[in-house]
Amino acid sequence: MQIIFNTLIFSVLFFFLWDVEYSMVPSIRETWVWNKEGAFGTASPKLGEVPTQTLNGYKIGDKFYSFSLGKSSQYTDPNFVDFALLGKGYIEYQKIGDSVNFFSEKGELFWNKDINSYPRSGYFASPVLYLSGDNNTVFLMDVSGNKLGKGALHGRFLTDYDFDKKGNGAIVLFSGGELYRVDEKGNTLFEKDLSSEKPGAFFKSISLSPNGKLALIHFSLNQKDFFGLLDETGELEEEWEIQNVYTHKLYFAINDKAKLLVNFPDKLSFQEKETLLWEIPKQKKGGVYQVSFVYAGGFVYNLENEIVFLDENGIELNRKSIPLDETPIRLFPGKAENVFYLETKKDIYQFRYFP
């Protein structure tokens, strides 16, 4: 009788409440992991994108592992490899030389061209930025090595660039203030000379928001450092002074609502535009390279061997510890909105955000 009664109660509740929307607590979950050296991983998640079909591959030692092929290809000095993380195939090039090879996802030599510059691929296949040896010119090409759109971006020494997380091109910054925003076909969305309004400034760092409509720049002027917020036309909306002077690039991330996470070598800072929301001093000063990443629901940063996941308001959602010998790490987006990846020296992890 008890079983019948319980079943009846459950059926009644299910009938009346099955379509009620419950407020779920946002969370970050690790949904897949791949060992790079052993070339094996856990089963693909039942929901969301399949990592082995989404990811291009990875470098380990002097080899490039292709997920499409399911095996590695070896390259030897003086050759280097560059590839789009969410594209197919890879580029083989020499830092001193003019021969560039592209291998298809099947590992076949697709083309060879004389290109006297070295490639920097983003998340998707286009555009590929080819940097000149003096860093004063960036050539825009597609995955086939053909000229795209504007063709070339000129400035006074390239300092930083960022790729659109949804595949809509890139933003390129030169130290002299020359700024270019291009789409995936290499066409100019806007072009600015920031030094015209700030003569004598040295421009160091830049980051795009996930929707590609906001950009944050870091520059020095009169022995002071500043942040500047740019809108989708490249106009400077706001600027504010940074407490200290940093002679190098800074690593920061900005979301679509102009909230930003800055991973300074000596502290962590979470802001809404120029308003400081919280700040954490670091007990041990880090190097120049620090992790600061934005995803659909928030931010991620590293603090020594701790990977910390935040929501969009800077509230901690989760942490993951990794061995120090697996650093440095990097994070990059997936093709699905709520998916992103963490790559260490030994492993690749997929994470999914549940809002």
Quick one: pLDDT at residue 206?
99
> Among the listed ranges 39-43, 71-75, 164-168, which one has the minimum average pLDDT value?
71-75
Q: Is 179 within 8 Å of 188 (Cβ atoms)?
A: no
pTM for the model stands at 0.91
Question: Predicted confidence band at 3 (pLDDT cuts at 50, 70, 90)?
Answer: low
pLDDT at 197 over 80: yes
Question: Predicted confidence band at 18 (pLDDT cuts at 50, 70, 90)?
Answer: very low
DSSP string, 303-334: ETTEEEEEETTS-EEEEEE--GGG-S-EEEE-
- 341-354 pLDDT, tens digit each: 999 999 999 999 99
Q: What is the mean pLDDT of residues 142-164?
A: 97
* Superfamily classification of domain 124-249: YVTN repeat-like/Quinoprotein amine dehydrogenase (2.130.10.10)
Q: Angle at the Cα of 311 (from 310 to 312), degrees rounded to 5?
A: 120
How far is residue 306's CA from residue 329's CA, in Å, rounded to a whole number? 11
Q: Is 261 within 8 Å of 292 (Cβ atoms)?
A: yes
Those residues with Cβ within 8 angstroms of residue 58's Cβ, 6 or more apart along the chain or in another chain: 36, 64, 65, 343, 348
How far is residue 44's CA from residue 47's CA, in Å, rounded to a whole number? 9
Q: Where are the domains of the chain?
A: 52-117, 124-249
Q: Is 258 within 8 Å of 273 (Cβ atoms)?
A: yes
Q: What is the mean pLDDT of residues 170-198?
A: 98
- 285-303 pLDDT, tens digit each: 989 999 999 999 999 999 9
For residue 21, the 8-state DSSP code is P
Question: Predicted confidence band at 255 (pLDDT cuts at 50, 70, 90)?
Answer: very high
Give the amino acid at 181. Answer: R
How far is residue 101's CA from residue 83's CA, in Å, rounded to a whole number? 12
pLDDT at 251 over 90: yes
How far is residue 306's CA from residue 297's CA, in Å, rounded to a whole number? 19
Question: Taking the CA of residue 13 as centre, how many other CA atoms within 13 Å lie in the half-sphere pointing to its CB?
Answer: 6
